Structure 1
C-alpha cells in the first residue's frame, strides 16, 4: 500500500499538507495532516534542493554544449585545412551529430528513469568527453564524421534528461528560474568557449599539435574528469535522495503532488505510454515551438565565429568578440526568467525575446556597412533566442503531468526540435550570410506561431476542464495515469 499526499496549505512558519492513504482502485480515505518538518522551512528546503541539484545540471550541460559547439572555434584555427575539408563537408560533419541525437532522445529518458540519473547521465558525460578528445586526434574527413556521430549518441540524453530531472523536483511557479539558469549554461559555454579557445588556440604547434587539436583534447579531458566525479555525487529523483531526511522527502513529494498531482514514479514507462503521449496534439505543438527556434539558435552557435571573422578580426580577436553576446544573453535570460516566475506566466515571456531576435536579423538583412550596428544585432539575436528557449521548454515540460508523460514529452520536444539542428548546419554555406539570415527569420516566426497556437489550446483546455466534473469514485491512481489530462490539472499560461 502506497501513501500519497494530496493537499498543500501554508500556515507560516509551519506548513500543513494533507496526505491520503491509497490502495489501487479504492476511493481515498479521509486526509491526514502532514506537518512540514519543524527543523526547516519551505524556503530553506527549496534552497537545499537548489544547492544539491542545480550546480550539477549546470556543469553537466555546460560541458556537453561546450564539447558540441567547440568545433566552430576549432574551425577558426585551421581544422578544415588540416583535415582537407572542402565544399559542404564541414556542414555535413555538423549535421551527422544530430542523427543519433534525434533518434535516441526518448529511449535515453526511459533508460534514465530505469537506471537512475546519477549512473546514466554521468556515464554519458564520460562518453562524450572521451569522444571529444578523439576529435583532437582525427586525421581525415571520415574520422571527424565518425567522432561527431558518436558525440551525438552520447550527448542525446543530456538536455531532456536534465530538464526531466529538474521538473520532478520543483513546482511550476518556481521552476522557470531554475530551468533558465540550467539552460543558460549554453550561454556560459558560448562565452567560456570563446575565451578558452583564444587561449588554447595560442598553443598552436606545441608538441606538434595544432591549436584546434588542443581545444578538443583539453576540453574533452576536463569533461571526462567531471563525469567520473559525478558518478559518485550526481543527484537523482526525490525518491532516491539520500541527503534528505524522511520527513523532508515526504514534504517535497506532498508539495509536488498538490501542484501537479500524483507522479506515478513507482511504475515503469511502457510503449503504450509513448503512444498515448504522442496522440496528444499539444505535444506536437511543443515540438514545433522548439523546432522553430533551434534553427536560428544552432545557426548562431555554429556560425557566429565565422560571421564575426568576416568583420575583419584575426583568429584571437574573433574568439574574444564572440564572448559579449553570450554574456549579455545569460543576464537577460535570468531577468526574463525571474519576471516570468514572479508573474506566474510564460507565453508573453516567450514571444517578447523572439521579437528581439527578429529585430536583430532585420538589422543584419538591411545594414551592411556599419560594423558596430551589425555587432549589436548579433547581441540582440543571441539574447533573444537564448532567453526564449528555456521559457518554451519549461512551459511545455511543466504542463505535462506525471513521470511517464513528462519523460516521453520532454524527450520528444527536444528530439523533434533538434531536427532543426540539421537545417541549421546548412543555413550558412560559403559566404552567403543573407540566405542564412532569411532561413533563421522564417523558422523563428514558425516558433512564435506555434507558441500562440499552444497558448490558445491550453486556455481552451482549461475552460473545458472548469466545466467538467470528476467521475464518481475516481482514485488518485487513475488520476496519475491521466497526468495533465486529469480534470484537476490546470495548465499554466
Structure 2
C-alpha cells in the first residue's frame, strides 16, 4: 500500500476543519491522517512533543512560581527586618497586591496568547518578569514593593492559563493529566527546592558593595540576645531576588528557541537550529487525534460576544470555584510555610531547607494520581481524596502539640493541595469543548485560583503567629467546600450522561461526547 498516496487522496486538511461543525465524535474514526503514520512513528512524534513542550513549559512555570512565592523565604532571610514588614499588615499587603492585576487580566491574556502565538507570548512575558524580579533586590522601602508586585501580576497573568490551554490543545482528554502533572510537578519543584536554593543565595551576603544594601541585624522576639549591627555588602535576602531573576531570564531566552506553537501551526514552526518541529504529515496527525477525541482542533474566528457567552455555562464556574478553593490552600502553604516552620522553633536555615521534603512527596502522589486518572478515565475521585487528605493534615499542622506531628501535617496538607492542581485542571479540560470556550475556561479557572491566592495571603496574619489558627480554620473550610462542590458537579454530569445515553440532548453539542466524572 502507498500510504503517502492514500494520505494525499483521503486526508481532511486543516483548512477544511476550521470551517466544519462536526456533529458526531465517531465521524473521524478512519481519518487517513492518523493512519498515515505507523504506530511506532506515532509514538516517536508524541514523545518528541512531550520532551519539547512539557519540559519547556515546566521549567518556565518553575521560574514563575519561584518569582511569585519567594517572599516567604526572603522574609525569614532578613527582608522582614530590613523593610520593617512586621509592622501591621505590611507583609500581607505586598503578598496580596500581586493578585489584583493577576486575576483581572486573565481573560484578555488568553485571547492575546491565541492571537500572538505561544512562541512569542510565553517566553516574552517570562523574560519581562525575570527582569522585574531583579528589581526586588534593590528595594529600600516596603511600600516600593507594592507597584513591583502589581506589575508582576500583569506580566504573569497570562502565563499559567496559557500553559494549561496550550497543553489541552495538543493532547486528547485521557492523555492529558499525566502531562499536566509533569508540567506542574516540574514547577512545584521550585517550591520544594527554592528554600534550599535561596539558602545558598543567602550565603552571598558578604559580596557586593554599598552600605545602603547591607543587611541589618539585631535583637528580635525570637532571638532577643542577638547583637546589633550591619553586615557588609549586599544582604542575603536581596541575592535571592537577584539570582532568581537572572535564572528566570535565562529560562526565558531558552524558551524563545524551544517553545512550540499550536498543533495546526507546528509544521511552520521552527526552533532547534532553524529546523521545523513537525512535518506537515505529523502536524496533521496531531490535529486529527484531537478532532477524533472532541472535534474542536481548530479555533473559529474570534467573536467577543460568543467568547463572553461561554461564561453562561455554570460548570465553568463550578470548576473555577473548586480550583480557587484548592489554591487557597496551595498559596497559603507556599507563602507562609517558611514562617510557620520558623515559628515551630527551627533555625532560619532549617526552616528553608525543610520546605523541600513535603513537596517531594506531593510530586510522587501527583504523578501516581495522574497515571491512574488517565488509565481509568476518572478525575473527581482524586479531587475528593485530596480534599480529605487536607482535612486530616491541616488540623495536625495547626493544633498538634508536638513539632513532629505538626511537620507530618505539613506533609499531608502540602501533598493534598499540590496534587489537586493537575487533577482539577484536567477534570475541567476533559469536560469543555471549543477552542475559545477552553481559552475562557482556562482564564476563569486560573483567575479564580488567583482569588484563592488573595485569600491564602490574607488569612495567615502575622499577629496570629505561631499557631495561625484563623488561617488553619479557613483552609479546612476550603477543603470541605471542595468535596461539596465536586459531588454536586458529579451529580450534574452523571444526569447529563444518563440523558445522552437514553438518546436525549447531546452533551456540548457533540453526539457521542460524555462527561468525565
- TM-score computed with the length of structure 1 as normaliser: 0.89
Alignment equivalent of 1:299, drawn from 312, 332, 347: 332
Partner of 2:224: none
TM-aligned CA distance change 1:250 to 1:216, over 3 Å:
same
Q: Check whether the contact 1:292–1:445 (CA below 8 A) recurs between aligned residues.
A: no
1:378 aligns with 2:406: no
**Alpha-carbon distance between aligned partners in 1 of 2:178 and 2:53, rounded to the nearest angstrom:** 13
Superposed CA deviations along residues 14-60 of structure 1, whole A, max 9, x for unmatched, are 99xx8557595899999774423249433222212111211011011
Residues in 2 aligned to 1:26 and 1:255: alpha-carbon distance in whole angstroms: 16
What is the CA-CA distance between 1:365 and the residue it aligns to?
4.0
Deviations 1:294-344 (A, max 9, x none): 111110000000111111111111111111111111111111111111111
Matches within 5 A, 1:186-205: 186-205=187-206
Match of 1:474 in 2: none
Q: Is the 8 A contact 1:96 1:145 kept in 2?
A: yes
When structure 1 is superposed on structure 2, of 20-29 and 111-120 the one drifting more is 20-29
Instruction: Give the 3 Å change call, closer, same or farther, for CA 264–342 of structure 1 in structure 2.
Output: same
Aligned equivalent of 1:248 = 282
Matched with 1:426 is 458
Instruction: Please say if residues 19 and 254 of structure 1, whose CA atoms lie closer than 8 Å, have aligned partners that are also in contact.
Output: no
Q: 1:467: Cα distance to partner?
A: 3.4
Output aligned runs, 1:336-355, within 5 Å: 336-355=369-388
1:258 equivalent among 269, 273, 292 = 292
Q: Which residue is equivalent to 1:478? A: none
CA distance in 1, matches of 2:512, 2:372: 27
Q: Cα offset for 1:460? A: 1.7
Q: What does residue 233 of structure 1 align with?
A: 258
Give the 3 Å change call, closer, same or farther, for CA 81–402 of structure 1 in structure 2: same
Instruction: Label 1:33 to 1:226 Cα distance change in 2 as closer, same or farther (>3 A).
Output: closer
Matches within 5 A, 1:411-422: 411-422=443-454
CA–CA distance in structure 2, aligned partners of residues 236 and 222 of structure 1: 24
Aligned mates of 2:98, 2:12 — CA distance in 1 = 47
CA 1:246–1:461 in structure 2 vs 1: closer, same or farther (change >3 Å)? same
Rounded to whole Å, the distance in 2 between the matches of 1:349 and 1:219 is 33
2:478, 2:294 → 1: CA distance?
A: 32
- Alpha-carbon displacement from aligned partner over 1:84-116 (angstroms, at most 9, x marks no partner): 331101100000000111001111110000000
Moved more, 40-49 or 111-120: 40-49
Deviations 1:114-161 (A, max 9, x none): 000010011110111111111111111221111111111111111110
Contact 2:397 2:408 in 1 (8 A): no
Asked if the contact 2:327/2:452 (under 8 Å) is kept, the reply is yes
Determine the C-alpha separation between the residues in 1 that align with 2:22 and 2:381.
40
**Which residue is 2:221 aligned to?**
none
**Number of the residue aligned with 2:392:** 359
Q: Greater CA deviation, 35-44 or 424-433?
A: 35-44
Matched residue, 2:475: 440
* Separation (CA, whole Å) in 1 of partners of 2:399 and 2:264: 55
Single out whichever of 18-27 and 194-203 deviates more from structure 2. 18-27
Root-mean-square deviation (Å): 2.4
C-alpha distance 405-452 of structure 1, shift in aligned 2 (>3 A): same
CA contact (8 A) 1:105 1:412 kept: yes
Distance 1:281 1:19 in 2: 37
* Alignment match, 1:130: 131
Preserved CA contact (<8 Å) 1:263 1:401: no
Q: 1:72: which partner in 2?
A: 72
Q: In the aligned structure 2, how far is the partner of 1:250 from the partner of 1:469? A: 33
Moved over 3 A (4+): 18-34, 38-41, 467-471
- Give the distance between the partners of 1:158 and 1:187, measured in 2 at CA: 15
| Partner Cα distance (2:321, 2:357) in 1 | 29
Report the Cα offset of residue 466 of structure 1: 2.7
CA distance in 1, matches of 2:508, 2:92: 40
1:194, CA displacement in angstroms? 0.9
Task: Tell which deviates more after alignment, 62-71 or 182-191.
Answer: 182-191
2 CA distance for matches of 1:27 and 1:55? 33
Tell me which moved more, 95-104 or 217-226: 217-226
What TM-score do you get using the length of structure 2 for normalisation? Answer: 0.85
Aligned counterparts of 1:73 and 1:27: Cα–Cα separation in 2: 51
Superposition map of 1:276-295 within 5 A:
276-295=309-328
Aligned runs of 1:2-401 on 2, under 5 Å?
33-34=32-33, 35-38=35-38, 40-85=40-85, 86-207=87-208, 208-241=233-266, 242-265=276-299, 267-368=300-401, 370-401=402-433
Is the alpha carbon distance of 1:221 and 1:365 closer, same or farther for their aligned partners in structure 2, counting shifts above 3 Å?
A: closer
CA deviation map 1:391-422 (0-9, x unaligned) = 01111023211211111111111112321111
| Contact 2:398/2:406 (8 A) holds in 1 | no
Q: Partners of 1:356 and 1:273 in 2: how far apart?
A: 39
- Contact kept, 8 Å, 2:499 with 2:505, in 1: the verdict is no
Contact 1:167–1:175 (8 Å) recurs in 2: yes
2:137–2:241 CA contact under 8 A, matched in 1 = yes
Answer yes or no: is the 8 Å Cα contact 1:203–1:214 preserved in 2.
yes
Q: Is the partner of 2:411 in helix, strand or coil? A: helix
